[in-house]
Structure 1
Amino acid sequence: MPTSSPLILVINSGSSSLKFAIYPVGERQPLASGLAERLGQSDASIRIDVDGTKNKNPLTPTNHQGAVDALMAFLKERGWFERVAAVGHRVVNGGERFTESCIVTDDAMIEEIGTCPFAPLHNPAHAIGMRAAVHAFPALKQVAVFDTAFHQTMKPEAYLYALPRKYYRDLGVRRYGAHGTSHRYVSGETIRLLGLDPNDSGVVVCHLGNGSSATAVLNGKCVDTSMGLTPLEGLVMGTRTGDVDYGALAYIAKKTGLDVDGLEKMANRESGLLGLSELSNDCRTLTEAAQAGNHQAEETLDVFVFRLCRYIGALTAALPRLDAVAFTGGIGENSAYIRAKTLKRLSALGLDLDEEANATIFGGKSGIVSRSRKPVAIVVPTDEERVIAEDTARLAGLLPAKA
């Protein structure tokens, strides 16, 4: 590629971390990527992956601005700083206000994004990352890419809760979904890899990781998804409950004295795989324990798989037919154990596990893991950063707009 080609910087700012990637405009692979983690703590560090090597160094200062400053120093050291043409940001929730990727216009918009009440663990951190990037690149266009945007094609039948309508009308309480950038990319790649008709296809995408969700995609558009108003609804996750009867939470509150904040903390941070197993929120740790005979770990993973299968079945009902089930995310891409347990439960949908193929797919590989060919089970590594880079380049006028 030309040494002077413009670059897109992609930033995914979390509450205590900041992921980034640097893409030449129009290219599918980044020049470099990395992660600053444990921000706000004395042992904060930044790792940069470039030229096949991983370089890790301590951060000073240890906050988000320190992470961006270290990233800027790296860009200057490489001679890339002046080539950065735009910055793209991942944002978890845009509510009904932001229904597609857009240019960040001013600090008032950043404040609005940061105070979105529906992703309190994520959106405030996105705003911090945006402000740090604006400080570093005051002349460049900053673009926000919203996870919820892909789910805006859901109809009211899919996104409305059966609550008094005034709560939707006055407060915006509805189902927004999450992981939309991943679902958008993986559904598109599934259609491409399987040679499906983009205008006549039905796919269920399962994004499985510490946060997990599943989405029904009809002709490239979301028609239903498992997550709701916040990223708490739906599948069992690392530390989140997924679906739970509100009556159960009310009963726990009455018996233990937990207030609303206490219940929210319990449901978001102390439940899921961690709470049920009483061992770990990491699927790898639980798989090892289950295979070593730990009954509670095995039972926890059975709950995870059962809930996933139930959602795949429910999401299939939102489609006229099912062409493919795609697995992605840290668990979906790497856990042959979870994929096998899942596919063995889905014979009613015509899915048939290919044990030999399934065992070989991990570590960034894609491939079919079923003997059945309609529907097909396929593993597709996600690449949210690439989607963000492409949207950013288009909105910054560096790539043609999509037709």
Structure 2
Amino acid sequence: MGIETNMKQYGLSEAIQKSADHFSDLTVSRVILQEKGIYRLISSEGEKWGEISGRFHYDVQEKSEYPAVGDFVMADWNKSGGHAVIHRVLPRKSSFIRKAAGEKKEEQIVAANIDTIFLCMSMNNDYNLRRLERYLSIAWNSGAVPVVILTKADLCEDPESRLMEISSIAAGVDVLITNAVEKDGYQQIVPYISDGKTVAFIGSSGVGKSTLINCLLGEKYMDTNGLRNDDKGRHTTTHRELILLPSGGMVIDTPGMRELGMWDSGDGIHQTFSDIEKLAQSCRFRDCTHSESEPGCAVREAIERGELSMDRFYSYLKLMNENHYIENTQGYLAEKKQKFKAISKINKKNRKR
């Protein structure tokens, strides 16, 4: 196998190679694992652990500028045997970004340079339409193509009914039903994975992401613990990892997410709730707030006619308000970080004197 063919298998395209050619003294590599500030890289030189350079760390202004699984980076491969040193991240064609868990108002890149996002949801008690709307909004905003994967069909009494429900809120999205209990219960996802393409499995803990990946690999590569007695998922995946499949293509497994906050996902919300936004175009007033007191509100009229559920409308308002809050926060944080950088530069100059 030639070197060029190897990296093409890992998604190295002509466009990415062209960006890499500007840094001929460094090696183009892809991040295949991320764990506690260190990165597992693959390049034409093989595999090696890597860490970011001091200059890189100093220049970072946003958390999303750090490498993430799926990123292509330029690194000093350090052939003497030590860790590779990452000097920059190449432009991303897509990225799944959420608000980092916890109180901090920071963004977190879950996976980068993905072609398809498998949004996994089990058909038992994990089933939640409102959560799926949130996942879809972020997925549409990522630049990748979302596909809904319904798992554990064997635990659902009426899978076709739930398929219809999801299809009604996921316009333009393929929805697939899988059942890992059956020998070929995962085959319908195979056509979405091909040479040089990357898919990411996103979803709550215990929905069967790792089980599906094991089916694709043909071996038990990932630990799988299923659900606890209270029907809540166990966290079996503790890090993000990109895996090359024997049949070609790559998958990224991600830890289950207890929180999935909006982060500048306005375009994705518009896409997910295109039915509501289309109704809003028929409101009497352009700045209609869709409240009960608004005259000539097409959205409220659709709710009264039973064409739009109140739950879906409230979900739309909730995500829009959450995203609007984050957008306003980002401006404040950017100003604060610029001020901190300016102070740091002054202090650095003073120390040199």
TM-score (norm 2): 0.27
Greater fraction helix: 1
